[in-house]
Structure 1
Amino acid sequence: MAKLDENGLTKAARTLLLVGVLFVAINLRPALSSIGPLIDMIRQDVGLSDTLLGLLTTLPLIAFGVVSTITPLFTKRFGIGNTLLGALITLATGIIIRSLGGVFELYLGTILLGIAIAFGNVLIPALIKRNFPHKAGFVTSLYSGVMSLGAAFAAGLSVPLAVEFNLGWRGSLVSWSVLAILAIIIWIPNIKRINRTPPSRSFKEAMKKLSGTLLVWKLALYMGLQSLAFYVILAWLPAILIDRGYDEAYAGWMLSLSQGTGILGAIIIPVWAGSRKDQRLVIVSLIVIEILAFIGLMFPELGMVELWIGLIGMVLGGTFGLALLLIVLRAKDSETAAELSGIVQSIGYFIAATGPFIVGMIYDLTHVWNYALILLVGVSVLKLIMGIDVGKDKKI
């Protein structure tokens, strides 16, 4: 007879559940990262201003912030498995609506897919805590790595799908619904593998307890600051390089380099951190590298642009995976993990949404990109202060 784990699953069942988790993960970024390369095509076709086009990126982040906190309401009612199924269906629906309608549908679909992704962002760490507690670092590395890989593939394939395959921007965007539908098919059999347990407390009680815990706020700030730095680099790195005299092609390659090394960091760092009871050494090491890389990027005369950008990408990717792992490690059980993930990611994405706007405003006022890099060094220092406490081996 096959040996069962604490959730009553065989090794084969756990493997199939892990495959399901990874298919959910690979769907959490393509709908977002595929839009940027197609902005010019959308502008020419629909005639929207840059401000309104910017909402196609900002609206999902706002949805993340709003929806993340209330996600435990759904899991307490429907369970993690059914809630994730609903999220995948909403994601596929949102992608299709965004791609096939007019301006109203473009924004409606964007909001729907933002809501769907928010559920996935929150619930996967809780599921890892519940079903893979002894391999949290390894599974988180797979999850964050696959998610980053999905983002990179979507960003790279969006224009070829639109141009070389003659799909246009609508066809390119709607193609990612196929991936979501495939995830739905793979996820449905996994729902029965996630046994529902009665909630031990109400949503209101959980939020009252967590919001009154200082460590929760520090973890939320850590998550928010790392996301802020990531979205600033994603939005403004090419502009920084072009302003220094590099051509657009080189700037684009450097952004791709940061995303590529980010995948590496997202895979390696959670495994390293998960092998330790105390994650402070990991946090300090990443921050030191990050600060050195930002300072190096401030001085063009130093050269080595590829090195600095590669390091920044690796650290930001690794820090993202580490932030997700810290949610898993600090929560005492899977119910707490879902609640903690919700409040931490809600606050975190609201903080992240301010980053690109603040940096753009700084440049408009000063016309000096180094002030933005100094801001990112300051963000790194704040992240270090928060990380020293959240890296300690203790439970919420």
Structure 2
Amino acid sequence: MTTSIKGPFDGRKWAFFGAALALLLAAANLRGGLVVVGPLVADIRAGLSLSASEFSLLTTLPLICFSLVSICVPRLARLVRAPVLVTGALLLIAAGAGLRATSFYSLMLAGTLLLGSAIALLNVLIPGLVKGYFPRQAGLMTGLYSVTLSLGAGLGVFLAVPLRDAFSAWQAPVLLWALLPLICALCWLGMLRIRSREMAPGTAGRISLWRDARAWNLTVFMGLQSLFFYSIATWLPKILMDAGLEDQQAGLATSMINLAGIPANLMVPIIAARMQDQRPLVLLVLVLGVTGLTGLWLNPTAAPLFWASLLGLSGSASLSLALALFALRTRSGLEATSLSAMAQSLGYLLAAAGPVVVGGLNDLQGSWGSALLLLIAAQVIQFGCGWHASRPGFVTPDQQRGQGAPGASEPRPHCCDCSAVAQALSRFRLSNSDFLTNT
């Protein structure tokens, strides 16, 4: 998908690569500090004498923070420059991860709140930054961002048990994710000089999408894919260990959720950016996810790495597709940030129920069958919402409804039809200059 909108780094090769590196380093810290506790569940519960419900708060509270904080990010971004927000968020991630490495449950909860709030801030900001900083490379940058995010999560799970064994303490792998954000924050110090007119504070008023059906479908799609990821990341080690695998084998299989999904993370946004209609990708997500869950339900020990890889491909494809749609179904970085905030605030509120409900069903029935069937049903609903959200067209801000805003529902031109793109953008600029302040 081509665009004539210029980014702040066009024609500045080294500044472009520096900004891309800073963005990817920020993305590397978005999952590792959260998922690292999954393989350490037995050690943490034994060391702190925690019940299952008390431990569940360590995985559920971040999702609640995602929901509550995400909705506030667009307003915060109108008051504070984005590089300042990103730098501050990285420092909060370091502080939160450090508190989660203590042996006091109350401090771990406080650290979890800090960690979840800071990650929520970055979750919402980064899609808008991709749209605002790299408008010509939105598909590629979304793919690289998704790959980096999954690499961080995969390494968090993969290194958890070896680091625990090497240092004879479950705190060692948790502390790793308190040090990395500090290093990454140094790269953002140089970004403080970067100014983008579109992403600058006060460049536009509030953008609301609460009356847009496409935005609502993308919100549910985002929520259900997050519910799927956090449910599987939390309980897959226990599912496999209950089936007879050793903890190291279960940890290796769980790491495949993220590592096997790397190709999907990279390619799905690039492919999606070249398509008018992304519905075939939504169908692919459904087939991969249902196949992996069915195999895990019927015979988890037959091919645990294969089932986990299918789940990873499905989860990574759905996440990167959702992130790509934030850019592909909006016309500016400000709209992308607003759509990201809406989808992630309500979506993560829905996702927060996933680990609790899945664990609760296992406690009630003493098996994982019903929980896995519930996740299969959620995949089907996710497919329906994604089918609608990925159709050609754009979201329409509430402020434009009833004004006959041109281009609100017209499909995207084909990626090779450059003249059609130019005409559509030209019509849009004439009537929507408040939202395209960078042109």
Q: Using the alignment, how far apart are the partners of 1:302 and 1:113 within structure 2? A: 34
1:78–1:386: structure 2 CA closer, same or farther, 3 Å change rule? same
Q: After the TM superposition, which residues 321-332 of structure 1 pair with which residues of structure 2 at under 5 Å, given as runs?
A: 321-332=320-331
1:131–1:49: structure 2 CA closer, same or farther, 3 Å change rule? same
Amino acid at match of 1:175: L
Alignment correspondent of 2:131: 129
% identity of equivalent residues: 35
SS of 1:164's equivalent in the other structure is helix
Q: After the TM superposition, which residues 190-201 of structure 1 pair with which residues of structure 2 at under 5 Å, given as runs?
A: 190-196=191-197, 197=200, 199=202, 201=204
Alignment correspondent of 1:79: 81
Q: Using the alignment, how far apart are the partners of 1:91 and 1:271 within structure 2? A: 29
Q: After the TM superposition, which residues 212-227 of structure 1 pair with which residues of structure 2 at under 5 Å, given as runs?
A: 212-227=211-226
Alignment correspondent of 1:27: 29
Amino acid at match of 2:13: K
Partner deviation per Cα, 1:358-386 (whole Å, 9 max, x = no partner): 22233333344332222222112111111
Q: Using the alignment, how far apart are the partners of 2:327 and 2:281 within structure 1? A: 16
Is 1:237 paired with 2:236?
yes
Alignment correspondent of 1:178: 179
Instruction: Pick from 59, 65, 68 the counterpart of residue 67 of structure 2.
Output: 65
**What is the CA distance between 1:200 and its match in structure 2?**
5.1
Contact 1:60 1:113 in 2 (8 A): yes
1:383–1:239: structure 2 CA closer, same or farther, 3 Å change rule? same
Q: Using the alignment, how far apart are the partners of 1:296 and 1:103 within structure 2? A: 36
**What is the CA distance between 1:130 and its match in structure 2?**
0.7
1:52–1:292: structure 2 CA closer, same or farther, 3 Å change rule? closer
1:194–1:277: structure 2 CA closer, same or farther, 3 Å change rule? farther
Alignment correspondent of 1:115: 117
1:301–1:153: structure 2 CA closer, same or farther, 3 Å change rule? closer
1:305–1:106: structure 2 CA closer, same or farther, 3 Å change rule? closer
SS of 1:192's equivalent in the other structure is coil
**What is the CA distance between 1:66 and its match in structure 2?**
0.6
Instruction: Pick from 133, 147, 151 the counterpart of residue 149 of structure 1.
Output: 151
Is 1:280 paired with 2:282?
no
**What is the CA distance between 1:90 and its match in structure 2?**
1.5
Contact 1:199 1:335 in 2 (8 A): no
**What is the CA distance between 1:264 and its match in structure 2?**
3.0
**What is the CA distance between 1:291 and its match in structure 2?**
2.3
Of the structure 1 ranges 115-124 and 27-36, higher mean CA displacement relative to structure 2 is found in 27-36
**What is the CA distance between 1:226 and its match in structure 2?**
0.8
Alignment correspondent of 1:254: 253
Contact 2:157 2:251 in 1 (8 A): no
Q: Using the alignment, how far apart are the partners of 1:258 and 1:128 within structure 2? A: 25
- Provide the alpha-carbon RMSD of the alignment: 2.4
Q: Using the alignment, how far apart are the partners of 1:51 and 1:361 within structure 2? A: 9
Contact 1:296 1:302 in 2 (8 A): no
Alignment correspondent of 2:189: 188
**What is the CA distance between 1:17 and its match in structure 2?**
0.3
Of the structure 1 ranges 383-392 and 187-196, higher mean CA displacement relative to structure 2 is found in 187-196
Of the structure 1 ranges 89-98 and 340-349, higher mean CA displacement relative to structure 2 is found in 89-98
Contact 2:257 2:311 in 1 (8 A): yes
Q: Using the alignment, how far apart are the partners of 1:158 and 1:307 within structure 2? A: 21
Contact 2:45 2:51 in 1 (8 A): yes
1:298–1:121: structure 2 CA closer, same or farther, 3 Å change rule? same
Structure (1/2) with the larger helix percentage: 1
Query: Number of residue pairs matched?
Result: 388
Structure 1 unmatched runs, 5+: none
**What is the CA distance between 1:40 and its match in structure 2?**
3.5
Amino acid at match of 1:82: V
Contact 2:9 2:16 in 1 (8 A): no
Alignment correspondent of 1:51: 53
Q: Using the alignment, how far apart are the partners of 1:295 and 1:73 within structure 2? A: 43
**What is the CA distance between 1:172 and its match in structure 2?**
3.7
Contact 1:238 1:255 in 2 (8 A): yes
Is 1:16 paired with 2:15?
no
Q: After the TM superposition, which residues 263-302 of structure 1 pair with which residues of structure 2 at under 5 Å, given as runs?
A: 263-300=262-299
1:232–1:130: structure 2 CA closer, same or farther, 3 Å change rule? same
Q: Using the alignment, how far apart are the partners of 2:374 and 2:330 within structure 1? A: 31
Alignment correspondent of 1:307: 306
